[in-house]
Amino acid sequence: MDAREAVLDKYSGRVFKNRKDHIVELDEAGVPKEIASNSRSVPGLMINRGCCYAGCKGVVLGPLRDTVVITHGPIGCGYYTWGTRRNKADAPDGRNFIQYSFSTDMQETDIVFGGMKKLHQAIKEAVEIFQPKAVMICSTCPIGLIGDDINAVAATAEKEFGITCIAYSCEGYKGVSQSAGHHIANNGLMKRVIGSAKDEIPKEKKTFRLNILGEYNIGGDGWEQERILKKIGYEVVAVLTGDGSYEALTHAHTANLNLVQCHRSINYIAEMMKTKYNIDWIKVNFIGIDETIRTLREIADYFDDETIKKRTEEVIAEELEEIAEEREFYRNKLTGKTAGIFVGGSRSHHYQHLLMDFGVKTVIAGYEFAHRDDYEGREVIPDIKLDADSKNIEQITVEPDQQLFHVALDKARFDELRKKNVELEYYKGMFKDMGDGTITIDDFNHYETEKVLEIFKPDIFYSGIKDKYMIMKKGVPSNQLHSYDYSGPYACFKGSITFARNTYLSISTPAWNMMTPPWRTKSTLEGTLGDENYA
Catalytic sites, residue numbers: 51, 54, 85, 182
Residue 3 found at the interface with ligand CFM (CB under 6 A):
no
Asked if residue 528 has a cis previous peptide bond (ω within 30° of 0), the answer is no
Q: Does 178 bind ligand CFM (CB under 6 A)?
A: yes
Piece in contact with ligand CFM (CB under 6 A), picked from 337-345, 386-394, 440-448, 511-519: 337-345
How far, in Å, CA of 503 to CA of 9, rounded?
A: 32
Q: Which is nearer to ligand CFM, 243 or 301 (CB)?
A: 243
| Shorter beta-carbon distance to ligand CFM: residue 169 or 346 | 346
Residues 269-298 that bind ligand CFM (CB under 6 A): none
Residue 239 · residue 211 · CB < 8 Å: yes
**Are 3 and 408 spatial neighbours (Cβ–Cβ below 8 Å)?**
no
DSSP assignment string, 271-326: HHHHHHH--EEEE---SSHHHHHHHHHHHHHHHT-HHHHHHHHHHHHHHHHHHHHH
Q: Which of 3, 7, 51, 59 binds ligand CFM (CB under 6 A)?
A: 59
Residue nearest ligand CFM (C-beta atom): 344
Among the listed ranges 149-157, 344-352, 443-451, 487-495, the one in contact with ligand CFM (CB under 6 A) is 344-352
For 93, 156, 201, 229, 376, the CA distances from 379, given in Å and listed in that order, are 43, 44, 31, 30, 8
The closest of 16, 39, 6 to 387, measured between CA atoms, is 39
User: Measured from the CB of residue 345, what is the shortest distance to ligand CFM in angstroms?
Assistant: 3
Query: Taking CB under 6 A as the rule, which mask of x and - marks residues 475-504 in contact with ligand CFM?
Result: -------x----------------------
Rounded Cα–Cα distance for residues 506 and 476 (Å): 9
Query: Does residue 345 interact with ligand CFM by CB under 6 A?
Result: yes
- Find the Cα–Cα–Cα–Cα dihedral 128, 132, 135, 136, rounded to 10°: -140
Determine, following the binding rule CB under 6 A, whether residue 88 of this chain makes contact with ligand CFM: no
Q: Given the rule CB under 6 A, which of 185-193, 214-222, 358-366, 421-429 is the region that contacts ligand CFM? A: 214-222
Q: Does 218 bind ligand CFM (CB under 6 A)?
A: yes
What Cα–Cα distance (Å) separates residue 395 from each residue in 131, 176, 183, 273, 347?
32, 16, 8, 15, 26
Which one of residues 72, 264, 428, 468 is an interface residue with ligand CFM (CB under 6 A)?
Answer: 264
Q: Using DSSP, how many helices (H) and how many strands (E) does the chain show?
A: 22, 16
Nearer to ligand CFM, 144 or 345 (CB): 345
> Pick from 265, 285, 478, 503: which binds ligand CFM (CB under 6 A)?
265
Q: Which parts of this chain interact with ligand CFM (CB under 6 A)?
A: 55, 59, 85, 178, 214, 216, 218, 262, 264-265, 343-347, 482
